[in-house]
Amino acid sequence: MTIDFEFQIRDVETRESTSVRKVSAEAKANYWFFKVKVKGSYSNRTTNKRQTDRRTTLKITVNAVQDEIPEGLGRVLDILHESVKVVPIGEAQPVPGVNPGTGVTPASP
């Protein structure tokens, strides 16, 4: 059995900064019968926008097969199998020192 898995991670980051600059000036002058008045202003607005788009894709392939049991595990299972004694139902033998009704060992005096 082969399982193919693919997923995508996406991260979008947006930064925006705005700066505004304003300068104004005024000057007046009086000279005998002349009057002069000068006004001026300057304005500037700057906007910077930066967007970062990061993506990554992860692909995973898993192959599953049914293989033979390793030799060491086979030996352990054989030992366990040999140590288990099958007792047919109805021929159960009482265990010495255990109360057959409750299955509890009586306390020693």
Report pTM.
Answer: 0.34
pLDDT at site 33: 81
DSSP 45-81: EEEEEEEEEEEEEEEEEEE----PPPHHHHHHHHHHH
Report residues of the chain scoring pLDDT below 50.
none
CA distances (Å), origin 59, targets 5, 9, 10, 53, 80: 6, 12, 15, 20, 42
pLDDT at site 106: 62
Phi-psi region of 4 (alpha: psi -120 to 50; beta: other; left: phi over 0): beta
Tokens of 52: 């970062």
Contact 52, 10 (CB under 8 A): no
CA distances (Å), origin 58, targets 8, 47, 101: 6, 37, 61
Element housing 16 (H / E): strand 2-31
Domain boundaries, the chain: 2-83
